[in-house]
A and B are shown apart, each in its own frame.
Chain A
Amino acid sequence: MSIDGRLSREELARDRPIRAFGAAAAVNSAGESGLDGPQKADTLISDILKAGYRTVEDNIQEGRRTAERLRAGVIAPADNGESAKAVANRVMHLSKELSVSWIELIVTVLRDSELRGLIDRVAAPGRPAAGPSEAAGVADPGASVGAPITHRVSSRQPIEVTLSALPAGASPAIGGLHSLNPATPPITRVGFHARDDGGLELRIDIDDSQPPGAYAGAVVDAVSLRPIGALSVRILE
C-alpha cells in the first residue's frame, strides 16, 4: 500500500500471542492440517478422544492379565513388591494420559463457543444447534440425573459399559461413540431417555456388524452444553 508514494504497512490479522492454550492448540492444529471451522474442531475432538482411549484400549488386557495372575497366585509373595511397583507405575502413567486428554478436551470446549456448538450439533444430529431436547441421544425435558441411571443395551455381542459419575441435576446428552480406528464406524444409536419415574435410562443399540473394540464419547449437559463425563463401551470378541 502506498500513501503519496510512501509505502505503508498492511494491517495485521492479530498483534498478540494466543495465551489460552486451548485456542492455541486449535490454531496450530488448523495450521498444520489446513482445516478450519467445524472440521477443525471435529478433528481436534476426535484426536483428543482417540489419544485418550488408545491408552485404554492398549491397557485393558494388560490390567486383566495382571489381576488374573494375582488371583491365580502366579506372583509369588517375594515378587509381590516388584509387580506391585510395576502396576502402580503403569497406573500412574495411564491416569496421567487420561487426565491430560480430558483436561484438554474440557478446557477447549469450555473456552470455545464454536466447539460448544459443534458438541451441540453432534449431540443433535440433523437439527440446528439450539433446542437439544428433541434430539436423539438427549434426555427428555425435565429429566435429569438424580436417581440411578439404568442401562438398556441391545447387542448380540458381549459388551462392557462404563459410564463416569454424572453430576446431580444434569441433563446428559451424547452424540455417539467413536473407535480408535478412523475406519471403524461409530456407534450412533446411543442416548439418554427419561423414565416414567423421572430418572434416566441409557439406551445403547449395537449392530451385529459392529467390530469388537473400545468406543468412547463425551457426555455433555444438554442445557449448559458443558462436558460432564464420558461413556465407553467395549465390544468383546
Chain B
Amino acid sequence: MNTQGVAKVAIIGGGCASITAAFELTRPELNGRYEVTLYQLGWRLGGKGASGRGPSGRIEEHGLHIWNGFYDNAFRLLRECYAELAPNPGPFDVADWRQAFIPENEIGLSARSTAEGWHSWSACFPAPKGLPGDPIAPTDLMSLPRYMSRAIDLVSALLRSVDSRYAADTPPATGLTDPERVLSAIGDLLGGAASASTAVLIEGLALLQVGLKLVPTSLSSPLTELAEWIARTLRSWFEKSLILTPRFQHIWEVMDIVVATMVGVLRFGLLTHPRGLDAINDYESRDWLRMNGASERSLQSPFIVALYNLAFSYADGDRGQPSIAAGQAVRGAMRMFFGYRGALFWRLRAGMGDVVFAPFHEALRRRGVRFEFFHRLTDARIADAADLAPGERPYVTALEFDVQAKVRDGAEYSPLTMVNGRPCWPSTPDFDQLEQGDLMRAEGRDFESHWDRRRVGARRLEVTRDFDFVVLGVSVAEVANVCRDIIDQDPRWRRMVEEVKTTETQAFQVWLGEDLEQLGWTASPRIGTAHVEAFDTWCDMAHTVPEEGWTHRPRTVVYFCSALSEAAAPGERDDPAYPERRREQVRGAAINFLRRQARALWPKAYDAQGEFRWEILVQPEASETEAYAPRQGVDRFDSQYWRANVNPTDRYVLSRPGSLKHRISPLDITYDNLTIAGDWTDCGFNEGCVEAAVMSGRLAAHALSGAPRLEDIVGYDHP
C-alpha cells in the first residue's frame, strides 16, 4: 500500500473484459484511486477480438466480429471512449462513433432442399428507434411479459405476412374498455369478412392477452392452456392451409419456435421464478423447445441453426452435438431480436483492433494506464492457509511472468502502426523495437502461441509492493495453467475449469477481384449463416477494403468462420507441431470449401470445367517476401488469410447445459484481492460475445471500486 492511498491494480490480459475493467477503474470520477497496469501476452490487445494489419495493410481477424444491436454496455463504453478522445483526436478517427459501424438489418439464412439444393431466405428486421448505448428508460426495461408481448406481435405480423388480407401496417390499436367487450367486439366486427382461419388465430392471440386480465388470481394454468390452444390451432391451420413453399415454411418455423417458447415460459412458471430463465439452464435448448411442442422440422430449421452457429454452440466443435443451455439461449434470442436498437447487427468499418482496441489503448494511455507487453502470466500464487489471520480471506501473494521480449533501451513499447493514416495493430510485432529483434524475427517467434515458450527472462510481482488487486482477464481455458494454487485447493474453481467448456474455431478471408454480383450472388443480405457445414457463417466485408492499404483495391473481401471440430487425441495438444497441423487442416478445408461448397454462393466463380477460378483471389501487392510471391492455381490460396484458433486464449467459450451454474462471478469475494473478468464468468449474460465480456469487465471494476452501480450494467438484472 502506498502512502497516497492509491490502490495498484494489475490487470492480466488485454481482451474486451480487461480493457473495460481498466476503463472503469480509471474514470475521472474515481479521482485516481486506482493505478492500473495491464500485462499483455505478445504485442497486441484484443484477446479473441484482436486483429492485425498484414501485407497491403489488409485487415486480418481472428474471425468474423459483428456487434449486435443489443450490445448496450459495449457500445456505451466505446462511445464514451470516442467522446473522450474527440477533443484532441490526433490521428484517431473518433469524431463520430457511428462512422465506425455500418448498421445491418438483413440476414440471410440457407437451408438444404432436396429439390433445389441450397435455398436462401433473407430476413429483414425493422430499425427501431434509438441507438445501442443510448440511455435506457425504466419503461424500456425488458421483462418476460413484455418479451411475450413482443413475441405475440411477431407471430401476428408473420400471420399477416402470410395472409395478405390482413395488412401488415395496420395502425396501432384503439379500443374498448374491458375484456368481455373486447371479445364481443372481435366476434361482432370480424364477422365473415375475413379468413376464418386467420381470424381464429388472431383472436386466439388476443385471447391469450385478454386472458391474463380475466384470470389474474390463477396465472399459470389458464394462460398455459391458452398458449397451448394457440400452438395447436396454429399448427393445424398451417398444415391444412398453406402450401409448403420455402417462404411459408420458414415463416411457420419461426412462428412454431416462438409459440413453443411462449408455452414453455408459462409451463415452467418462469414469469415468477426467482431464477428467471436460469431455471431452465440444465436443459439443452432444442430439447426444451421440443418438450414444449416445437416440431422437428422447426428444430432443424435455418433459424435455429443460425442461433447455434452464431454462438459456435457445438460440443467439441462437432456439428452433430449442438449444445446450448435453454435459459441462456432464450435470453440471448430475446435480447437479440427484441432488445436491439438502431439495427439488428452492426458491422465494423475496419478491424476490431482498429475500431475498438487502438482507441481504447490511446484513451487508457492518456489516463495513465501502463501497458506491459510481452508478459505471459505463468502462475498466480496464493497465501498459505496457515499464514492467514483469523477471518482473513485468501489472497494473491505474487504474480509470476515469463518475459517474452524486452524493448531496446528500456523504452516503452509502441504497439501501433499507421495504415491509411489510421493507427492500427500490426499482425506481427515490431521486432525493430526489441532487443535481439532481428534474431527473434529470424527464429519466427510466435509470442501468442501457447506452444512457443521461449523467453528472455522472468518477473515476479509481489502483493503490496507491486500490486494491491488483481483482475484476472485471461481466458478460462488458460486459468488452469496460470492459477495452479487455486485449482489445487479450491473445488469451485476446479469445477469451473472442468465444466465451462470452450471450442476451437476456424476462419479464413479471401480478397476477390470480382464483386459478389459478378460471382453470381443475387441476394441482398451481406451476412449469411446456417449455410454449409465446413464454414457456416460468412459476411461480405467490401466496406473494409478502402480502409486497407491497397494501391489497386480488390472488389471485395469475404470472411468465413465456424467452430472447428476437435480432432485431438489424448496428449496431441502437447505436441509443439499441433497448432501448425491444425492450421494446415483449416487451409485444406478452406480450399475444399472454395472448390465445392462455395458454388452455392458464387456459381460464376467457376470455369467451364467446374474448377474454382483461383485467379479471382487478389494477392498482396507487397510481394517482397517469399510468402507473398505471386502464385498460380490453387497455390494462390496461400496468399490469402486463414487461421485455426487453437490457443487456449483463442478458444470460444460455450454455454453448455448444466455448466452455467459452475461459473464464478467477478463479484465473488473468495479471494480477497482477486477478481476475474471475461465472457466465461458468471456475468449475467453467460454467452461468448463482446457484450458479455464488457459486462464482466464492468462487474470486475464494481467488485474493486463499487462502480459502476450494478443497476447501470444494462441487462445484468434481467430475467
Contacts and interface: CB of A to CB of B under 8 A. Distances in A.
Contacts of B182: 91, 94-95
Residue among B156, B182, B185, B673 having the largest count of chain A Cβ atoms under 10 Å: B185
Interface string B7-20: 10000000000000
Interface in A1-50: 2-12, 14-22, 24-25, 27-29, 31-33
Contacts of B185: 63, 67, 87, 91
A22 B206 CA distance: 24
B684 interface: yes
B717 interface: yes
Contacts of B191: 80, 84
Given A9-B669, A17-B684, A92 B141 contact: no
Interface in B318-365: none
Interface stretch (B52-60, B121-129, B171-179, B588-596): B171-179
B623 interface: no
Contact of A95 (B7, B206, B667): B206
Interface string A75-103: 00000110111111111111111111011
A28 B278 contact: no
Residue among A63, A227, A234 having the largest count of chain B Cβ atoms under 10 Å: A63
Contact of B217 (A14, A84, A227): A227
A195 B181 CA distance: 29
Contact of A17 (B7, B176, B716): B716
B145 A104 contact: yes
Residue among A5, A90, A165 having the largest count of chain B Cβ atoms under 10 Å: A90
Contacts of B156: 92
Residue among A3, A92, A102 having the largest count of chain B Cβ atoms under 10 Å: A92
A7 B1 contact: yes
B174 A19 contact: no
A20 B211 CA distance: 22
Interface stretch (B428-436, B445-453, B701-709): B701-709
Nearest to A229: B216
Interface stretch (A54-62, A121-129, A183-191, A200-208): A54-62
Interface in B124-164: 137-139, 141, 143-146, 149, 152-153, 156
A167 to B, nearest CB: 5
Interface residue SS majority, chain B: loop
B275 A91 contact: no
Interface stretch (A105-113, A132-140, A150-158, A173-181): A105-113
Given A15-B665, A70-B189, A89-B170, A9 B206 contact: no
B190 A88 contact: yes
A162 interface: yes
B205 interface: yes
Residue among B177, B181, B468 having the largest count of chain A Cβ atoms under 10 Å: B177
A63 to B, nearest CB: 4
A3 B1 CA distance: 10
Contacts of B274: 19-20, 111
B209 interface: yes
A55 to B, nearest CB: 7
Contact of A25 (B1, B143, B276): B143
Interface in B550-590: none
Contacts of B308: none
A94 B170 contact: no
Contacts of B710: 14, 17
Contact of A92 (B173, B179, B665): B173
A23 to B, nearest CB: 8
A165 B213 CA distance: 10
Nearest to B383: A6
A24 B193 CA distance: 44
Interface in B161-212: 165-167, 170-179, 181-182, 185-186, 189-191, 193-194, 199, 202, 205-206, 208-212
B469 interface: yes
B216 A227 contact: yes
A171 interface: no
B608 interface: no
Contact of B173 (A10, A94, A234): A94
Given A7-B673, A20-B276, A85-B166, A99 B718 contact: no
A111 B272 contact: yes
B585 to A, nearest CB: 40
Contacts of A33: 138
A24 B715 CA distance: 10
Interface in B269-312: 271-278
B273 A19 contact: yes
Nearest to A47: B139
A194 interface: no
A63 B469 CA distance: 64
Closest 5 CB pairs of A and B: A93-B173, A19-B276, A94-B175, A90-B173, A62-B174
20 contacts: A7-B468, A9-B704, A14-B710, A15-B668, A18-B717, A24-B719, A28-B138, A63-B175, A63-B181, A80-B193, A91-B175, A92-B173, A92-B205, A98-B179, A99-B209, A99-B210, A100-B209, A102-B212, A104-B143, A107-B219
Given A51-B139, A88-B202, A165-B214, 8 more contacts: A20-B274, A21-B719, A56-B175, A85-B165, A96-B206, A99-B211, A99-B212, A162-B177
Interface of B: 1, 7, 137-139, 141, 143-146, 149, 152-153, 156, 165-167, 170-179, 181-182, 185-186, 189-191, 193-194, 199, 202, 205-206, 208-214, 216-219, 271-278, 389, 392-393, 395, 463-464, 468-469, 665, 667-669, 672-673, 675, 682, 684, 702-704, 706, 709-712, 716-719
